[in-house]
Amino acid sequence: MTTVKAATNASPLAASWRGQKIPIAGMLAVLIAAPFFVYPVVLMKALCFALFACAFNLLIGYVGLLSFGHALFLGSAGYAAAHAAKVWGWNPEFAILFGTAFSAAIGAVVGAIAIRRQGIYFAMVTLALAQMAYFFYLRASFTGGEDGIQAVPRGRMFGLLDLRDTMTMYFVVLAIFTVGFLLIYRTIHSPFGQVLKGIRENEPRAISLGYKPDHYKMVVFVISAALSGLAGGTKAIVFQLASLTDVDWRTSGEVILMTLLGGMGTIFGPAVGAAVIVTLETFPWLGAWVTVAEGLIFVVCVLTFRRGIVGELSRWLKRPL
């Protein structure tokens, strides 16, 4: 993991919090102002994917596990939340939480199977399990097959906030993103997070020190799945749709691309990468070339730009971001 290692800068807990308060506050200020200048629906999509990518980064950036099936958690939570909101008539907050819990449960099952293998095999196993779930959702009756679950009601958050209003919806999504982001930040900078990095750097040594890597991997896998679920559930409520696209392997590839482009193992990288890719997808003239463009970005990033945007920036500023 030499280069991934180089991309991250481990720093003492307290110093890093002091150092990153300002960038985090800056990011939030930009996001609060953003909907008054940019189309909020695009921003909400970017925020959902940003949270998804940050959750994904928890695995690749901090334990060195490449999950190639993370769309499974995004999409499953989407189906669960959409079903709860539409068929059971739940309030959006409960629907989203249900989606989150659903993905966490799936994460526990997938994690238990996948962490038996490492490196390249871990990637292939997660990809295969996600594809298995894809075929299940394609056939299952509650998912609506190719059509997906459409016209999901946005409802009223806590019975008070009418989410049909785009601005209200935006600030709810922003709040969810912020909670998820801070949770990930806290996880990384906790003693638990330090052990994860230790496992990434040298697993046999972590074992010899008495840590059980499999337990740690399992817990962080479930956290990552749950937060991806939080993103997926929110996305289903925002777009009032849960569909097969969100469990497709291309989406799993997309979240890898976002994280790689932004910078694996950086705090802000995945969010920046998600913003860039979502923006790219909104260019109308790109049309059917999106896949080719994404492939090119992959190739260029891997060959010349392995630290990613934020990774390079952080090296240039000589401080962790």
Which residues here bind other proteins, judged by CB under 8 A?
A: 1-4, 64, 66, 68, 113-114, 116-121, 123-125, 127-129, 131-132, 135-136, 139, 249, 253, 256, 260, 288-299, 301-303, 306
Q: Considering beta carbons, is residue 60 or 230 the nearer one to other proteins?
A: 60
CA distances from 137 to 70, 145, 179, 293 (A): 15, 7, 29, 29
Minimum distance, C-beta of residue 243 to other proteins, in the bound complex (Å): 17
Q: Considering beta carbons, is residue 24 or 290 the nearer one to other proteins?
A: 290
Cα(222)–Cα(8) distance, integer angstroms = 23
Q: Considering beta carbons, is residue 190 or 202 the nearer one to other proteins?
A: 202
Q: Considering beta carbons, is residue 74 or 157 the nearer one to other proteins?
A: 74
Give the list of residues 6+ apart from residue 321 with CB closer than 8 angstroms, or none. 20, 23, 266, 267, 268, 269, 310, 313, 314
Task: Pick the closest to residue 69 from 249, 294, 246 (CA basis).
Answer: 249
Minimum distance, C-beta of residue 46 to other proteins, in the bound complex (Å): 21
Minimum distance, C-beta of residue 123 to other proteins, in the bound complex (Å): 6
Cα(66)–Cα(58) distance, integer angstroms = 10
251 membership: H or E segment, kind and range: helix 249-262
161 φ, ψ to 5°? -85, 120
Minimum distance, C-beta of residue 176 to other proteins, in the bound complex (Å): 29
Q: Considering beta carbons, is residue 175 or 286 the nearer one to other proteins?
A: 286
157 membership: H or E segment, kind and range: strand 156-157
Cα(4)–Cα(206) distance, integer angstroms = 18
Minimum distance, C-beta of residue 129 to other proteins, in the bound complex (Å): 6
Q: Considering beta carbons, is residue 25 or 120 the nearer one to other proteins?
A: 120
Q: Considering beta carbons, is residue 47 or 127 the nearer one to other proteins?
A: 127
Q: Considering beta carbons, is residue 125 or 223 the nearer one to other proteins?
A: 125
> 104, exposed or middle or buried, with CB in 10 Å at 0-12, 13-18, 19+?
buried
Minimum distance, C-beta of residue 227 to other proteins, in the bound complex (Å): 22
Task: Pick the closest to residue 28 from 175, 166, 163 (CA basis).
Answer: 175
293 φ, ψ to 5°? -60, -45
Burial code (b: 16+ CB inside 10 Å, e: under 16) for 5-42 equals: eebbbeeeeeebeeebeeebeebeeebeebbeeeebeb
